[in-house]
Chains A and B, each alone.
Chain A
Amino acid sequence: MSHLEELARRVESDPFFLGCVLKDYARSEKLDDAALAAALGCDSETLTMVRLCRAPEPDRFREDIDQVVARFGVNRGVLEEAVRRGQAIASMKHQPAGATGGMLLAARDDDRPPEEIGELP
């Protein structure tokens, strides 16, 4: 593994870098590195560089995507989709515990076992 690949792996857990959202996107699409590179239309060295880019921020999303596309020539549509999906997954991951608990409670509002609820009208 090259030094840069090693660094790119190190920053995969850091939301400051594109590598973090790309990892979540790849996992959601069940893509390995080669498939992710193919989807972005680049080789593995370029994918490493893209992972080391700064993740786009909401207030300058388009401009940030433009800079990465202009510099590394990756597929804009796939990159945008990957970033949006990755950021959505990240925000779900970081949702406060209370919020998740609320959703689970709503799904289990009726505490009676299914046989006691009976058939719906």
Chain B
Amino acid sequence: MAPTDELLVREKECALHQRLLDRDSAATADAASLFWQRLVEWIKARNRFIDEHICCDAANEAFLNYLKNPASFDPESGKSLFGYLCMSASGDLKNLLAKGRRHSSKTIPIDSVELSPTAGNHLGEEDGSLRRLELQEEAILTEPVVNAIKLGLPPEELVALELYLDGEKKTDAYAEALELQDYSFDEQQDIVKRFKDKIGNRIKRARRDHEPS
């Protein structure tokens, strides 16, 4: 976004924020028109592995909280209003997921009991889907960020990147994707580590460049 455009957006956001502080009855509708769809799309894109209804609930909670208590946003913080809403929605999403995890941990799934070869043996184990959710949360990335990370990567590294985004930890899996079969295991470990560091740095850079402040 050009600096002038950004300034205009900030001005528009500030004016709307002020109307909300002044309890203008129509301001909530105008805020919904300006932010709601963007906020929902942003949070869904950033959490593309998470159920979109949960994403919408989080956006809903953050947005309504702001409308009811607009003073919770401080324009002097340097953050844009949209950035603030995104941050709140992300926080609410984490809370909703944590609440879901607490609920799930108290529930014994019926199929776990039925499929357990020796009843009870598997019930104390970590639920795979929950672990996957955690990995997904750690790897929450928007489409533009992922595109920026992919930029210029050779085909074998693109395959390895998918493993990385899926939370894969095993060196073997990366070695196969990166076609390192001719290297010793120690060399493979070293190359895989360098690849992961490289991707980690790309993620940091891409997030800095492509996510709202």
Contact = CB atoms under 8 A, between A and B. Distances in A.
B6 to A, nearest CB: 24
A92 B32 CA distance: 30
Interface in A54-93: 54-57, 60, 64-65, 67-68, 70-72
B31 to A, nearest CB: 8
B29 A3 contact: no
A82 to B, nearest CB: 14
B68 interface: yes
A49 B23 contact: no
Given A10-B60, A11-B64, A54 B25 contact: yes
A80 to B, nearest CB: 13
- Is chain A's binding surface mostly helix, strand, loop or mixed? helix
Nearest to A16: B68
Nearest to A52: B29
Nearest to A63: B25
B32 A54 contact: no
Interface residues of B, number: 19
A7 B60 contact: yes
Contacts of A3: 36-37, 40
A56 B37 CA distance: 25
Contacts of A54: 23-28, 67
B36 A14 contact: no
A57 B32 CA distance: 20
B162 to A, nearest CB: 30
B51 to A, nearest CB: 16
A53 B26 contact: yes
A34 interface: no
Nearest to A14: B64
B118 interface: no
B68 A49 contact: no
- Which of B29, B30, B37 gathers the greatest number of chain A CB atoms within 10 Å? B29
A72 B68 CA distance: 21
Interface of A: 3-4, 6-7, 10-11, 14, 16-18, 49-57, 60, 64-65, 67-68, 70-72
Given A4-B36, A70-B26, 6 more contacts: A3-B37, A4-B37, A16-B64, A50-B29, A54-B26, A60-B23
